[in-house]
């Protein structure tokens, strides 16, 4: 019961189907009573009639012949409908739990994903949630039906024992209970640990598959197929080994309890031989004694399932209980009606896991101008842009948009004012139209086409088999890099934000694609505050101001010509790229 209480916070997920759940429980009680009391009762009535050779009327004969079918039929029907309704309730639990998990994943900070592989999160969201669902439903089913069976069987056993002065049968059962509980507790403890290990191995195997699918080109380019096969084979073997350990403990329970039960029945047979009771009483008592052990065996299986479910629940709660870190304020403020796009950093410091990335950065980005961020890898450029989007919160200081601390507005309102075009934009497995509409879900077809024209994407879209309705495939796999980039720019045109962040949007493109995208970006940047994370100096020479980063600080700033005029880090980086 202590294990079952751990699932209590998740039982409210059954609220939408409470009527079906109550009916399933009632039917489970009926099935349990028909099993524990009905079967021994039937035998007590039928066996004496068969063996005593009573002279029965045709009506009585029909009654005794149909009694087993009536009891077993009612038991079967109530069991079926109870299990079916519980399966329906179980799917409700699974659906709600997965929705809750998915919603939580949308709110967790980017740092959470840096520390948790995608495959592990998929495993927790799908495999572990499925295990919790099965455990909750099995518990709901067995925690009602099996005690009802046990109570019914004990009731009949006690009644028959006292009626026939055979109390020894009751004592045999009572003495066997402690012998059944010991293996249940020992095996359950082992099973929980093995289940936790197995779920971890499943997560690792899932992550291996996802990593392989994401890196198909690199794997083939470097002839890594054999290596990847060997690595997955090792992972698959560990999963298989874990399943077999689980199977060992799961299947061990029933034989042990059955053996203990058989010893009890053997003791009953010995006592029967010594006391010479009649066949009818013996058959009914023996059936009642057997029906007492069956629910104990099933409750032992339930304990196994609870331990497995607890292992999965702990892995799920790793997500559900994770601190969201980036939260909306309780009383958010609103941006001014006419947002110009001013961005200010005031003595900002930031660190990843105690590793300083930005140190005491102060800068004011004026509306309508383009700012390029330049510096060595790891200097803090991407972090600077991420703090504007509030993907992370600063350690010290504050980041302001239009004079408002980004922590004082909702994340939705903040990000509504910012468009992002990444170096490798993500396209969803949807139509081209659907992918552009990400920038404004309420956009009309005319607005979407206008955005595509501005991004120089309209012509290539019309050349596609189904035009704007063409499916781009997973991650936009059916489009070239330049085409994906122009779709991303069309999104930004459609959003009409006052701040634009460009993360080296042309660095991986051919010359023709780069020319189109440069033209589109120049048009997109009009009347916006633009932050360009730059790696290629050819793309930033027209910036209004260049901010030079080194070791988390802005060590220099100015135009391209001003920074080249003196011997600083910018000039060294520029000359290194130019090959001088």
Residues whose CB falls within 8 Å of the CB of residue 189, separated by 6 or more in sequence, listed in order: 307
pLDDT one-digit tens code per residue, 319-372: 888 888 888 999 999 988 778 889 999 999 999 877 889 999 999 999 888 899
Residue 202 has pLDDT above 70, yes or no: yes
Predicted confidence (pLDDT) per residue in 134-154, tens digit: 777 777 667 767 777 777 767
218 in the same domain as 356: no
Task: From 289, 320, 351, give the residue that closes a domain.
Answer: 320
pLDDT tier for residue 465 given thresholds of 50, 70 and 90: confident
Distances (CA, A) of 175 to 66, 171, 187, 375: 36, 6, 21, 79
Rounded CA gap, 190 and 173, in Å? 27
In a domain, 79, yes or no: yes
Q: What is the CATH number of the domain that holds 536?
A: 3.40.50.300
Residue 325 lies in a domain: no
- 496 with 367, same domain: the answer is yes
Asked if 282 and 357 sit in the same domain, the reply is no
Interval 10-39: pLDDT, tens: 777 778 888 888 898 888 888 877 776 666
CA distance 576 to 288: 89
Q: Which residue has the tokens 């992972």?
A: 235
- The pTM of this model reads 0.71
If asked whether residues 39 and 103 sit together in one domain, one would say yes
| DSSP β-bridge partners for residue 358 | 350
**Please, are residues 271 and 27 in contact by the beta-carbon 8 Å criterion?**
no
State the residue for tokens 């058989």: 262
Total domain count, the chain: 2
The answer to the question of residue 327 being in a domain is: no
C-alpha 223/C-alpha 243 separation (Å) is 32
**333 within a domain of the structure (yes/no):** no
Domain with 173, as residue range(s), is 10-320
Is the same domain home to 284 and 412? no
Whether residue 376 sits in one domain with residue 296: no
Same domain for 289 and 374? no
Average pLDDT of span 548-573: 88
Tell which residue, 388, 375, 404, has the closest CA to residue 348: 388
Whether residue 431 lies inside any domain: the answer is yes
The answer as to whether 330 is a domain residue is: no
- CA 422/CA 542 separation, integer angstroms: 20
> Has residue 293 been placed in a domain?
yes
**Do 367 and 284 share a domain, yes or no?**
no
2 within domain boundaries: no
E-assigned strands of 423-539? Answer: 499-503, 529-533
**Mean pLDDT rounded to a whole number for the chain:** 79
pLDDT in tens, 224-235: 788 888 888 888
> Coil, helix or strand for 372?
strand
> In terms of domains, do 164 and 203 share one?
yes
Same domain, 55 and 147: yes
Q: What is the per-residue pLDDT across 75-87, written as a single tens digit (0 to 9) for each?
A: 888 888 888 888 7
Please list, in sequence order, all residues whose beta carbon lies within 8 angstroms of the beta carbon of residue 425, skipping any fewer than 6 positions away. Answer: 476, 484, 485, 487, 488
Q: Are residues 418 and 271 in the same domain?
A: no
Do residues 402 and 452 share a domain? yes
CATH of the domain at 172: 1.20.1560.10
- The DSSP code for 338 is S
pLDDT at position 577, please?
73
Q: Does the pLDDT at position 128 exceed 70?
A: yes
Confidence tier at 188 by pLDDT (50, 70, 90): low
Pairing state between β 529-533 and 499-503: parallel
């Amino acid at each position: 019961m202590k294990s079952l209480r751990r699932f209590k916070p998740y039982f409210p997920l059954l609220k939408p189907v409470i009527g079906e759940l109550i009916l399933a429980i009632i039917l489970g009680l009926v099935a349990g009573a028909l099993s524990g009391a009905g079967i021994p009762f039937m035998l007590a009535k039928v066996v004496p009639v068969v063996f005593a050779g009573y002279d029965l009327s045709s009506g009585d004969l029909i009654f005794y012949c149909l009694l087993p079918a009536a009891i077993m039929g009612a038991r079967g029907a109530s069991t079926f409908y109870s299990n079916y309704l519980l399966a329906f309730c179980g799917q409700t639990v699974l659906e709600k739990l997965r929705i809750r998990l998915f919603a939580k994943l949308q709110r967790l900070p980017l740092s959470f994903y840096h520390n948790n592989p995608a495959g592990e999160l998929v495993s927790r969201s799908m495999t572990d949630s499925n295990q919790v669902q099965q455990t909750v439903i099995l518990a709901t089913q067995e925690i009602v039906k099996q005690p009802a069976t046990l109570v019914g069987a004990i009731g009949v056993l006690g009644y028959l024992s006292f009626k026939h002065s055979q109390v020894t049968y009751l004592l045999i059962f009572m003495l066997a209970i402690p012998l059944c509980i010991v293996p249940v507790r020992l095996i359950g403890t082992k099973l929980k640990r093995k289940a936790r290990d197995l779920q971890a191995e499943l997560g690792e195997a899932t992550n291996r598959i996802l990593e392989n699918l994401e890196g198909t080109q690199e794997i083939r380019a470097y002839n890594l197929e054999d290596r990847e096969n060997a690595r997955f084979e090792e992972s698959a073997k560990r999963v298989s080994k874990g399943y077999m350990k689980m199977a060992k403990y799961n299947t061990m329970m029933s034989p042990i309890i059955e053996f203990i039960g058989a010893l009890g029945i053997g003791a009953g047979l010995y006592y029967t031989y010594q006391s010479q009771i009649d066949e009818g009483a013996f058959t009914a008592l023996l059936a009642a004694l057997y029906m007492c052990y069956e629910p104990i065996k099933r409750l032992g299986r339930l304990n196994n399932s609870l331990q497995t479910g607890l292992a999965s629940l702990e892995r799920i709660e790793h997500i559900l209980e994770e601190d969201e870190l980036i939260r909306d304020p309780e009383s958010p403020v609103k941006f001014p009606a006419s947002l110009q796009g001013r961005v200010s950093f005031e003595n900002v410091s930031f660190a990843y896991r105690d590793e300083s990335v930005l140190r005491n950065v102060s800068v004011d980005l004026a509306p309508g101008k383009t700012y390029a961020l330049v510096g060595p890898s790891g200097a803090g450029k991407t972090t600077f842009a991420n703090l504007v989007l509030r993907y992370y919160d600063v350690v010290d200081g504050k980041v302001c948009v239009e004079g408002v601390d980004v922590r004082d507005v909702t994340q939705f309102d903040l990000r509504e004012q910012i468009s992002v075009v990444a170096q490798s934009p993500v396209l969803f497995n949807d139509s081209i139209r659907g992918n552009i509409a990400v920038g404004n879900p309420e956009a009309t077809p005319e607005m979407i086409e206008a955005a595509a024209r501005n991004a120089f994407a309209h012509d290539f879209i019309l050349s596609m088999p189904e035009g704007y309705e063409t499916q781009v495939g997973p991650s936009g796999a059916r489009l070239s890099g330049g085409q994906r980039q122009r779709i991303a720019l069309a999104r930004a045109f459609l959003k009409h934000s006052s701040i634009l962040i460009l993360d080296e949007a042309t660095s991986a493109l051919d010359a023709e694609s780069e020319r189109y995208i440069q033209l589109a970006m120049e048009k997109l940047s009009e009347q916006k505050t633009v932050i360009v994370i730059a790696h290629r100096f050819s793309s930033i020479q027209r910036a209004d101001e260049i901010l030079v980063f080194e070791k988390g600080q802005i060590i220099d700033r100015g135009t391209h010509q001003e920074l080249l005029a003196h011997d600083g880090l910018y000039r060294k980086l520029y000359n290194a790229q130019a090959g001088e």
